[in-house]
Structure 1
Amino acid sequence: MARFYKKRDSNKGQSPGSLIFIGNKKVRKPRIDVFDYTKDYVHEVQIKTPEELIPYKQNTSTLTWINVVGLHDTQLIEEVGTIYELHPLIQEDILNTGQRAKLEEFEGYMFVTMKMLNYDNKKHQVVSEQLSMVFGKNFLITFQERKGDVFAPIRQRIHNPSSQLRKFGTDYLVYRLMDAVVDNYVYLVENIGEQIENLELKILKNSGQEVLSAINMHKRELNFASKTMRPARDMIMRLNRQDEHFISKKTRPFLKDLLDIIVHVTETIDSYREMLSDFLNIYHTGISARLNSIMKVLTIFSTIFIPLTFIAGIYGMNFENMPELHHPMGYPIAMSAMAVVGVSILMLMKYKKWL
């Protein structure tokens, strides 16, 4: 499936809010993990059915983080959405893995979606995974495509009684998850950037097809990363402007810092893209220089041998009345004349500094 745009053929002709999974199935069986905690209490459990979420929804004295892994089971997503009264359009967006990063506000909750990015060193490719978050006053539901993420340190900190996660609200937990995703953006760009900077030495030493392929590969991956990160930057900017009903004053400075980080990352991507454009110009300049060098050698040979060919052509016509043909010194004289002409042309080129 294309990375830059995912087909919606299965969704064609359907009414808005139809629950159809758009993407690749990345887990065999979905799972639901629950973190339920307060300042003094933590309970972590994996549940088997969405119905088990009902007591957590009814209990408003704790903060509940529900993590759903696997999006291909539309019935499961619908059941979770029904329990938490999620709008059908939100459920539709959760199932569309080609969704761009965005933020939508509803009565009692907010919907946020963005991409988690990783770099596949074997394929030299940026791999994306959709992350959707629905959060209200005392609950957060996250939806992921596959098992395995960058949230393990956050889960560990929730078990720590002195952690700020245990003292702050849902908005701070959302910030921490987004911060983990953006930190991975930084790592991703640093990884690609290191490869690009090493590429500069290769370009100066070698201007072969391998270098051109590397330049195009890095440009493609940076374009994909930029396409993902720019909407995320705009979404974080909008989130930071939300009223205190969803984002508290305590969390707002952290979001501002997160915004600064992602702005820096997108600017770094732009710098690397410009660098790759410069590398491409250097590559083409190197190719042109090599071609000019080859043409120079060929031109020198042509310039030397054109008059020699002329002399040889004259004496190769075999006319009857050519006294030189019968002269005993005719051959040495002709060869000497050719040598003098060739050396004279070489000396002239050297004098003119064409060599």
Structure 2
Amino acid sequence: MLILLTFYPDNLEIFTHRDVDTVLKRIDASQNIWLRCVQFRDRTGTAKIIKHFELNPSRVNMIFNHSPLGIDEDVEDCLFDSYEILTAQIKNHEFEVARGNIVVGNNFIITFEITELKVLSILANNLQKRPLDIKKWGIDYVFY
């Protein structure tokens, strides 16, 4: 699943779709975005995303081959981090290791979540609820 959050100074748009091309058509280079790729294991689709953001093509292999944990020292194109987080499963009182990658660029964040991170889902849901009147506070959505 691909979830695109587009941030404007006083507005937030959320778009969810399974097709990479449909999502990428909605992205303008001037926008501030967060693209969540949840349980998205399509190598060709991932390559399209990497190419769209003009990142080093080797990032595709880093995503699929579970590059060593930690921040990649090559920051020419982006800040790239692989993570493993121990998460609790409420249903059966056990733990699960959530793995993925975070890519941060000039005006975008892309998360490749092999296992959905509930904390990021909660954050996205809270943003979608728009709990504050952003205009009244005199700040923009990116800051919030």
Moved segments of 4+, more than 6 Å: none
TM-score normalised by L of structure 1? 0.34
Distance 1:167 1:145, change over 3 A: closer
Higher normalized helix content (fraction of residues): 1
Task: Read off the aligned partner of 1:48 and give its amino acid letter.
Answer: R
Query: Displacement, 1:41?
Result: 1.4
Query: Match of 1:299?
Result: none
Contact 2:2 2:40 in 1 (8 A): no
Greater relative CO (CA pairs within 8 A, separation 6+): 2
The two structures have a TM-score, normalised by structure 2, of 0.75
Note the C-alpha offset of 1:106.
Answer: 3.0
1:87 partner SS: coil
How many Å separate the matches in 1 of 2:53 and 2:35?
Answer: 11
1:94 counterpart = 2:69 = no
Taking a change above 3 Å as real, the CA distance of residues 84 and 59 of structure 1, as seen in their structure-2 partners, is closer
* Ranges in structure 1 where 5+ consecutive residues have no aligned partner: 1-30, 173-355
Tell me, what secondary structure is at the counterpart of 2:119?
coil
Within the candidate set 13, 18, 36, 2:6 is matched to 36
- Cα offsets for 1:223-277 (capped at 9, x unmatched): xxxxxxxxxxxxxxxxxxxxxxxxxxxxxxxxxxxxxxxxxxxxxxxxxxxxxxx
Partner of 2:49: 80
Distance 2:42 2:140 in 1: 31
Deviations 1:295-353 (A, max 9, x none): xxxxxxxxxxxxxxxxxxxxxxxxxxxxxxxxxxxxxxxxxxxxxxxxxxxxxxxxxxx
Q: Which residue in the other structure is 1:312 paired with?
A: none
1:51, CA displacement in angstroms? 2.0
Deviation at 1:35, TM superposition (A): 0.4
Distance 1:158 1:142, change over 3 A: same
Q: Counterpart of 1:208?
A: none
More strand by share: 2
| Alignment counterpart, residue 82 of structure 2, candidates 95, 113, 126 | 113
Contact 1:64–1:140 under 8 Å retained in 2: yes
For the 8 Å contact 1:71–1:95, the answer to whether it is kept is no
Structure 2: segments with no counterpart, 5+ residues = none
Find the partner of 2:123 among 149, 154, 158.
154
Partner Cα separation in structure 1 for residue 140 and residue 63 of structure 2 = 25
Is 2:116 the partner of 1:141?
Answer: no
Question: How far is 1:100 from its partner?
Answer: 1.6
Equivalent pairs counted in the alignment come to: 136
2:45 and 2:26 map into 1 onto residues whose CA distance is: 17
